[in-house]
Structure 1
């Protein structure tokens, strides 16, 4: 395999820095989903933790290294999940955490960031404008900027999911990964290519937020002027060149799915698996719904990467109450 920025030995070392509450997440075959999807389906569940997403695997590594170096403050831009994770990891290690987000981000995610004692600054724009503001704060205050996917620690933290998949002696053929900034895809992809190269890695994005997929297909960075998707965790417009370079080395395909399929995927995960999944976490199921012939007869793992939802929006999409049940 050509070299990505990631290193397998560092990934193994990163695993030791991550609080056990975020490691060894459930991986199980979900037979109830299979009649609707036409293939064998296993779920890697990354929502059963204090921040309800995979992001803390990366922030645990970042915060641990910063604390060891005597750092006291850190800032990031986030649509919600990274901010929660950094707030949790930073609070645990005495770091002063600032999170910059769009004021249009999911309200429950913003509330959780505040509840974790982080300073929250809101901008009148999307995630890319929040990223610009976080860069400005880091420069003016002289503090560490955590950039999801660009910072190698976020990728190598996420890559520990790949170690757990490989350690199960995989019988699966394909792993479906939600594609946003790229930390999850490049991290898991690096491990699969290094340790289980026979397993196919397929990235999934919404049609309404296609920048990284278009970039992967063209082999160069392609930006978009706007996004239009309910999957706020993957709605970036400006791919990071170094992350794209890694993705080109580890992804076997990148596909786009419709909003209606994302919603159906959320409904299936709730009805058949008893899981509350945010839109980004249902992208793998959406890909299976739209590509039944492609995956027929295969054993597919999908990473359910986040479960932070706005209750009112979830009721509209799924027809169920995420607070009180169906």
Structure 2
């Protein structure tokens, strides 16, 4: 069973050792949201922390195991890079984050403010630039969201939190590189096997959904969605293999549906999620680093 590389004991321990600022995020039933969705919904808000996203859980777990002075190198469109910068700064490490040119200025500014040195790369091979940098620096460690089991295990602490509310019929989660859904899925499949695990991808970036259905990584040429956090075009094989075991269903939503979900969250919860965070609105709001250019569209009439 491939999921053995996601260790239940490590997830349980992570729930005790991860920086408390990321743990036990608010989760509650909001009657207006339930009415809007036509079902009983437990919403979990992962945005009330210094990163405004869930990414700090997994990166903090990984960073605490690295030697002082280690240079953490990663690629990101924003939230993961913020988490690497934050964890590195607080644990005596360095952060080198490689991003595609033209990403959200909100996320770019926040990555730098949290301690990351950001490298904006022109062209499609951002991953190649990060790998070359890591190979050229002996003290560097390439950190891949979706590859390293520790990142998924840290995200799995969300599953620990969720079950404190009691039995859950289904959990709906946005799928980027897969660390979130595989970490949460690993915990829930062990402790609540009847819970249905549903992943959500953007129609404009369907590679993870396609890979899950076919049982092998299937890349695409670019991604065409405003949901940067789930705009995956090159799936990680280890993550796809975990998803095949742990995920029960994958769905795809268009950008118009995501924008409507953002409006629903704003009206019912008073929360403004970023597009990727709104994709899994039914149970989990996972990110709130919203590009300011989206705000006029968000508050305008549908």
Same structural fold, with TM-score higher than 0.5 when normalized by the shorter chain: yes
Give the structure 1 partner of residue 64 of structure 2. 64
Q: Report the TM-score when normalising by structure 1.
A: 0.89
Structure 1, residues 170-207: CA drift from partner, whole Å, max 9, x if none? Answer: 2x211000001000010001011011001111000010
Deviation at 1:2, TM superposition (A): 6.4
Give the structure 2 partner of residue 311 of structure 1. 292
Asked if structure 1 preserves the Cα contact closer than 8 Å seen for 2:74 and 2:144, the reply is yes
Deviation at 1:312, TM superposition (A): 2.1
User: Could you say what secondary structure the match of 2:284 adopts?
Assistant: strand
Asked if structure 2 preserves the Cα contact closer than 8 Å seen for 1:269 and 1:275, the reply is yes
RMSD (Å) for aligned C-alpha atoms: 1.5
Deviation at 1:116, TM superposition (A): 1.6
Give the structure 2 partner of residue 242 of structure 1. 238
Structure 1, residues 241-265: CA drift from partner, whole Å, max 9, x if none? Answer: 1111100011010010111100000
Asked if structure 1 preserves the Cα contact closer than 8 Å seen for 2:2 and 2:242, the reply is no
Question: Where do 1:80-99 residues align within 5 Å?
Answer: 80-99=78-97
User: Could you say what secondary structure the match of 1:117 adopts?
Assistant: coil
> Unpaired segments of 5 or more residues in structure 2?
none
Whether 1:150 and 2:147 are equivalent positions in the alignment is yes
Give the structure 2 partner of residue 32 of structure 1. 32
Asked if structure 2 preserves the Cα contact closer than 8 Å seen for 1:266 and 1:318, the reply is no
- Relative to structure 1, is the Cα distance of residues 2 and 153 closer, same or farther in structure 2, using a 3 angstrom cutoff? closer
Deviation at 1:132, TM superposition (A): 2.1
CA distance in 1, matches of 2:3, 2:141: 27
Whether 1:178 and 2:157 are equivalent positions in the alignment is no
Deviation at 1:130, TM superposition (A): 2.0
Deviation at 1:302, TM superposition (A): 1.4
| Structure 1 segments (4+ residues) deviating >4 Å | none
Structure 1, residues 9-40: CA drift from partner, whole Å, max 9, x if none? Answer: 01112223311010001110121012221111
Deviation at 1:311, TM superposition (A): 1.2
User: Could you say what secondary structure the match of 1:105 adopts?
Assistant: coil
Deviation at 1:71, TM superposition (A): 4.2
User: Could you say what secondary structure the match of 2:28 adopts?
Assistant: strand
Q: Of 185, 190, 203, which aligns to 1:194?
A: 190
Give the structure 2 partner of residue 49 of structure 1. 49
CA distance in 1, matches of 2:123, 2:30: 39
> Unpaired segments of 5 or more residues in structure 1?
286-300, 321-326
Structure 1, residues 70-112: CA drift from partner, whole Å, max 9, x if none? Answer: 4431111110001111111111111111111112211110001
Q: Of 268, 275, 281, which aligns to 1:279?
A: 275
Give the structure 1 partner of residue 12 of structure 2. 12
- Relative to structure 1, is the Cα distance of residues 121 and 162 closer, same or farther in structure 2, using a 3 angstrom cutoff? same
Q: Report the TM-score when normalising by structure 2.
A: 0.96
